[in-house]
Amino acid sequence: MRFVAANLLRAKRRTFLTVFSIAISLFLFCTLRTVLTSFEASLRASDASRLVVRHGASLVFPLPLSYRERLKQVSGVTGVTYGNWFGGYYQDPKNHFAQFAMDTRTFLDLFPECVLPPAEAEAFRAERTACIVGRSLARKYGWKIGDQVPIIGTIFPGEWMFTLRGVYEGRSKDVDENTLFFHWDYLNESLPEVRRSQVGVYWLRIARADLAAAVSDRVDALFENSPQPTKTETEKAFQAGFISMIGNIQLLLAIIGSAIVFAIMLVTINTMMMAARERTTEIAVLKTLGFGDGLILRLVGAEALVLSLLGGILGCGLAAVVFHESDFTAGGFFPNFRVLPGTVVQGLLLASLMGILSGIVPSFQAARLRIAAALRKVA
């Protein structure tokens, strides 16, 4: 087994390059998988008994505030809250994360997955310029309760100053902890007369998840003939639709990514086969010394496997560390962008597969090698 190690160390540069290319392909693999798992996690986090009501034509058109009372009347609806996407950033346009102006009276009630100590919730409601943020956002920027948090608005221009009154935690790991919520009333009052009383999105709580379709139809029918028709769907469908706006890019990414992973895999396999071919004489010598075919098979195979696993550990480890440290959220798009253990396991399995694939041909060739003929080639 020392022989395996010695062989790997022999061509240090080639070993390094091979390990490195496997590492890169697995890093890519983990990244792509994580894009998918994060997306799935945010779908999972969305509540099936919550409906989203938006303008029938597009998300960018607002709905009147007056819809609130009428929505409450719809049978099957047990709660209504509303809010606007704020679309600002903190200090630098790079620092953008999700901010929502929410109706503070009802919002926490409809979003039980955001867990906030009662005292902090009370303080948040009581103060017009107060805001609350998710735990990881607070950690990222080092905010503490009582801090002033200035946000530069893009949809609603100007600098908006908020006072941090609470830090919420997600009820489960899938819940986004990278959002800032503040008072819808504060936003509304600060706007010029013409832009007031306009709501981006209403959220409805319904009695049972299986009422979703019926309630959605009822709501949309209600506003069908008004100047602002609605489109109502479950939060899950809403999220999915939102993300499918870049869905095609995602697909493209997946295709390109898989192609790269595949190409690197082939290159790696080829490299290992070449490495084995160069050693034909050595293998013939070992066999002359009495090393059996089975032992030779295991030696050459083990080498490929060690190489691939090394690359795999490096690549997956790198992905896990990078995405853990960087708090990468793609601008609030993937609120919980972290590499799941399952992804790492899949990556390592893929690496083993590469090892087996790249080891299988050379190791069987080595085992089957006919000594006399192999020795002739150089003699």
Ligand X SMILES: Nc1ncnc2c1ncn2[C@@H]1O[C@H](COP(=O)(O)OP(=O)(O)OP(=O)(O)O)[C@@H](O)[C@H]1O
Task: Report the partner that residue 122 touches, choosing among ligand X, other proteins, none (CB closer than 5 to 8 A by kind).
Answer: none
Amino acid identity at 329: T
The mark string for 287-306 relative to other proteins (x by CB under 8 A, - otherwise) is: xxxxxxxx------------
Taking the complex as a whole, the smallest distance from the CB of residue 373 to ligand X amounts, in Å, to 5
Which DSSP helix (H) or strand (E) runs through 53?
strand 50-55
Please, which residue, 194 or 378, has the CB nearer to other proteins?
378
Please, which residue, 186 or 291, has the CB nearer to other proteins?
291
Taking the complex as a whole, the smallest distance from the CB of residue 370 to ligand X amounts, in Å, to 8
Nearest CA among 268, 234, 271 for reference residue 354: 268
Please, which residue, 195 or 370, has the CB nearer to other proteins?
370
Task: Report the partner that residue 7 touches, choosing among ligand X, other proteins, none (CB closer than 5 to 8 A by kind).
Answer: other proteins
Query: Rule CB under 8 A: is residue 275 a binding residue for other proteins?
Result: no
Give contact residues for ligand X (rule: CB under 6 A): 373, 376
Amino acid identity at 314: L
Taking the complex as a whole, the smallest distance from the CB of residue 357 to other proteins amounts, in Å, to 25
3-state secondary structure labels for all residues of 187-242: HHHHCCHHHCCEECEEEEEECCHHHHHHHHHHHHHHCCCCCCCEEEEEHHHHHHHH
Q: Where are the alpha helices (DSSP H) in the chain?
A: 2-10, 12-45, 67-73, 107-110, 118-126, 135-141, 184-190, 212-222, 235-244, 247-278, 280-288, 293-325, 341-368, 371-376
Please, which residue, 72 or 370, has the CB nearer to other proteins?
370
Please, which residue, 1 or 372, has the CB nearer to ligand X?
372
Query: Rule CB under 8 A: is residue 49 a binding residue for other proteins?
Result: no
Nearest CA among 51, 57, 137, 68 for reference residue 103: 68
Structure token digits, residue 272: 């290992």
User: By the criterion CB under 8 A, which residues form the site for other proteins?
Assistant: 2-3, 6-7, 9-10, 281-282, 285-294, 370-372, 375-376, 378-379
